Structure formats: structure tokens, C-alpha cells
Structure 1
Amino acid sequence: MLLDSFEPIHGVLLCEGEDIDPSLYEAEVSGLSQEELEEIRRLHASDTAIDKEKDSIELRLAKLCLERNIPYLGICRGSQVLNVACGGSLYLDVEKELSKNCSVGQKVEHIDYDNYDGHRHVVKVVENTPLHHWFKDSLEEEKMDIWVNSYHHQGVKRLAERFVPMAFAPDGLIEGFYDPDAYNPEEGKFIMGLQFHPERMRKPDSEEFDYPGCPSAYQEFVKAVIAYQKKLNSSISVPKALKLDQEMEKKRKKIVRSFSLAKNIYTTGRGTHLVNESELEIGADFLQSNTALSLQQEKRLKQMGATVRNGGSYIERLKMNEEREKAAKNVMGKMSVEQLSDLMSFYHMMEQICSEVLERKLNGIVHEELGS
């Protein structure tokens, strides 16, 4: 799978993009006419160009985070992906679906192409949520309002059950949500979606944020990613080095010395008269006992019921059989077609006879066992 190449994943930050394919969240009846749908496609041409491959990858990524409790921060489309991944749904078009039921004072413009980065609308922050904690110093008493940027024409319609809203627009649209059971940055837990972009909420012609709390979402997300990574690393058991008993350690050292002596003889060109031959024999014996057999030999050894480790005696028999096979081929090569045909018929007949006799013997053994 594509995502396997990115393992291990310690956190996912998913941002903006096109509309999610409505078929992926079983779009509820919107009540929009065909003319309205065509108008939506015309007004938001770049957003309504569905990318099914991207949808598939991002939804799988979100579900992976939910399965493993990997920190996830969804911004704009990323928040919609998170909601859909958990069984929620979206408005096909917020203005046309939600505005129908709103009074004039409640209507909200969620996207302004003429004032793209400068456009803001108010949201009401829900008390005792992470968003409230981040922006509490900027909230006026009893108002709980902040102004956020807005770049979307779709949004959360039915919030998935596991999530809790953190902010609402005046028209009732959920502008932020999180999973309270999966939120503790210090412990590596962070599952959240924001419809707005805090990183872009800056004062005109300045790098200064609109509110001191704007960077907090990213700071807490990074904190969770680091904690999750540490937790993941600590859970991976490092295998301990193999410890040999004293006897095995002595053998190992002798073998290593034997190879070292052999290497010196080879590289320096000196004779073996300066070396104790018994020390060289240790390495030679080790090599002989651990030399791999050819695939053909190994296959035949296994067929004969032998193991590779104890196959020394069988190798001699294999060599003998190979010589016999070679001799037989030489003899058959000189035989005529008629002679070879007769020989094949003979062995076929012998095979049938052996099979019948073997079957009778086996049946006899079974009857004897049943009789006893």
C-alpha cells in the first residue's frame, strides 16, 4: 500500500483542497435543483473538480490516524476529511443549503474571492474547549467571539458522534471540533479539525497574528507529535545481544583466530610452517560443516528424508547416483526408438505391479490391526 512507504507516521497535518466526492459520505438530500448545482460548479469551478484518488488516499490516512491514535490536525478540507472518515456528512454548498433557513442577521459569507485572504467572519467559541483555552485572553466577557478567515463553500453538516464542536458561525455552521477522548498533547493525543486557517490570520501587510492564540493549534499539535514519537520509540523492544556460554565463547574465539591466521597467510604469502596447523583445521572444519549445498542437492536430500545439517553421508550416495544416471543416459543414447519404447512400457508395467502389491500389503496391515 502507498502509505506503507511513509511508515512510521508520527503525525498528520492535512490542509486545503478540492471538494470531497459526495458519494463517499452518502450525501443527504440537499434540496438543491439542477440549476443550483450547475451554478455551484460555475462559481466554485476549482473546488468542485473532484479528485477521487486524492480522496481515497486522504480518507485512508485519516482512518489510519484514528485507528492508531496518531496525532491529526485537519485544516479546512482536512477537517472535512476527518469528519467524513468518522461517518459525518457535509453541506454540498453552505450558502445555498444553510442560508435558506437563516435570518438576515445570521447569514454568513464563507468565501470572498475578491478579498480572499482579508475576508473574516465572526465565530462563537465554545467554552472549556482547546480553542477556548488558546484564545481566552482575546475573548471579551460574555461574548466568546473571534474573527476568523474563511475560504470554503462546503462545511460540516452532520458532525460525527465522536467529536465535540469548538466554534460556531452565526448561521450555525461548525467551524471547529475535536475528540475530547483523544486530546492530550503531552501524552501524544491530538485529533482535531478547524475550518479556518489560524496560520493565515495576520494583520494587513504584517506578519503579526490577529490573535496571540493563532499559533497554538500548531504548537500543541507538534507537542503531541513529539510525544507520540517518543511513546512509539519506547514501545519498540530492542533485542538484547546474544550471550554465549563460556564453552561456546571459547569455540567462537578459536574460529575467529583460525580465520584471522588464514587471512594473514593469504595476504602476506607466508607459508603455513609458521602456524600451528591445528589452529587452521578449526576454521576448515567449521567451513566444511557449514558450507551450503547446491539447490539440487538440497532438494534431493530433503526428498530422501535427510536434513541439510547431517547430509554428509547422503552426498556420497548422490554422487554415486549421479554417476549411474550419467551411465544410464549414455547407454540409452545408443538405443533405438523401439528399444526405448519397450523399456518405457516395461517400467510402466512394473510400476502398476508394484502399486497393486503395495496396496494389498497395506490393506493386509490394516486388517491385521483391526482384527487385533
Structure 2
Amino acid sequence: MMEIKVINNLNDDVKEKLKDFGKDDSKLNSLNPYGLENPDKKDPYPKLDKIIEKFLKYYKGDGKGVFSWVEELNELEKDLEGENISYNGDSANQHYCLPTHVNGDYKNGLIYHCLFNAGTNGVEDSLKISENSLYDYYKIPEKELGKAPKDINDIISESEEEKIVENLRHNIIGFKSILTKEIMKKRKEGEKYQAYYCDKYYQEIIEKNKNFYFDSDENEDDIAKLTNKLVNIELYPLSSKNKSGSGYKLNKFSLFGAYIILYRIGKYLNDVETNPNIQKPRFIFRSFTDWTACIRAAIKNRFDFDDDTIDDMFEYLYDNFFLEFSSPNAGSVSSINVVKKLRIGNERFDKMTDFLSDPEN
């Protein structure tokens, strides 16, 4: 394979600022747009939980007027720097569908799956809130099997009453990765459970470690410690069937995803000084052009560098931490589909995903 030329060095002053941002999580917490108040407690997002409780009233058909996730999110942390979340008119997908933004141990992750936004299971973006209430929207799966927010219905129906709000919050921002959630459900329900991430996105990883993940004798907490380090970040937390239907523009929620990336790299640069053998975090991007603009904006906002310094810093991040999918249609995280200027190949892919393997082997 041709040797990949990389930029390994960064201006010392620039590097120190990045390390300072990742020195502890206080700066990242201050940029969290979800009203983070109790980082180390069971209810870290009391404002977001109140919105979810309001959402559930409309979900049950008890709400008055129109509920909108767009409006509710934009009321959160209004004084936080950055634009409000953008949207495309009165599409029911964006106003009604539970947001999906950050899933996994995002402060300590090792592989970050950086996507554009969550899909809608076939519901057209042309469906308007004037044509359907939120209550009607969540009844679509009963009329059209497999369509619409069946996964949200499942979270609500399968949760204990006192856990519903917490489990819905974890869909928006939570410590458990999507892979962890699917593995735990598949361990209980068996092969009949169609798990999209297990069966599609992470198929190559799962196949290599199938005995470990699905052995009933393995402790689920031990599995989750590994799989929670595979983090999902959506650039845009609202859902749409098509990217063009999102109405996406740079906003404080998308910037938070970029700040997570900068924080995690800064944390690694600090940690590697005392432990040179720790694994480097990797970030795999879909919609890389949109993510590039967002990350560059986050660098500008946080560090106030000039354009040349931003160029140098971004090139350093790309060459040392970033990967892309080989094409917009690449459907899985695999040695074939993940590229870094050139395809990374089996050996590099195996090294990158080794932390997800059975620790006994």
C-alpha cells in the first residue's frame, strides 16, 4: 500500500490550547445545549426531562395545541452562543420525531460514528403538522407496518413507567451507545430481533466477536464498557427522510458535536503524555463537507484562530484522527468502506477496532 503522508506536528501554542480544552470536561459541559445541570447525577438534564414529559402528554393525545421539538429545543439554553436549530417548514418529521444526537460514552469514546441525521423509516418529509397531530404521527406504524417512529414506540412500550423519560432522553443524548442497546436487546430476543447497527453498520465487528457479545454467560456490564466507546454523533438532531428535507444550517446543536470531537482529541493529547500506549480515538464521517464546515466553525469560535491556523489545525486533525466513508452509499463500518485518503485496509481496521474484541482472547 502507498504510504500515506500525514502532518504529525502542530504549532505548540495551538496544541496547548487544544489540550487545555480537553484538560477537564467543564468547558465542554458549558457548551452543552441541552441544559446540563447535574453532570454526575442520575438526572443530569432536568430541563430536557420536563420537555420529554410534555412530549409524552401529546404522545398520549392529552396535549393542547401543537407540540414542536424545533420550538422546544430552541427554548433550551437560549443564551448559549450559536444559532438556533434550523428546520424545513412544518414537516412532521422534524417537529414530532424524537431527536437523536449523541449516543455513547462521548467523553471517552474510541470510535466516533459522525453522521448527518436520523432517518424516518419511510415517512415523507412532505407530511405536514397541519395534516397530522403528534398523536397521529406515532400511530403510523400501526397502519403501515415498519414505517415511522416504531423504535420510539418500542422505547415507551417496553420501559417501566418510571424509566420512560430517562430512556427517551438517552435517545437524544445518553451514555449507552446504539450498539450497546441493540446487543442487549438481541441477547434477550435472539435472531428474530432485526438490529440495524448490529446487522448493517457494525456487521464486520460483530461477526468477529459474536461469541463474546451473545454468550449468555458474559456479563452485560463488561460488554457495555466496550461497546459504549463506539459513539454516534448526528450533525443535525432532527429527523428527515432525505438530507435535502432537513433545512440544515450551522447551529449550536451541531457545534456541540464538533466541540465533543475537539474535546476528545484534546483529552487524548493530555492522556498520551503519561500513557503513550493508549489507543487514539478515531472519527468516521459521513457528510464530511458539512462536518468540515462545522468543525472549522467550532475551532474559530473556541480558539479565535486566523484562517491559516485553522487550516493547519484541521489538516492535523484530519491526518491523525479523521476517517471517511469510501462513498455516500457505503453502508457499514468496515475495512473496505472506511478510508483515509486511501482505503485503510484490514490491518489498520483490526487495530482500530481491537478494543471491541473479547478481552479474554
- Band of TM-score, shorter chain: under 0.3
Q: Which has more radius of gyration?
A: 1
Q: As a proportion of its length, which structure holds more strand?
A: 1
TM-score by length of 2: 0.23
TM-score by length of 1: 0.22
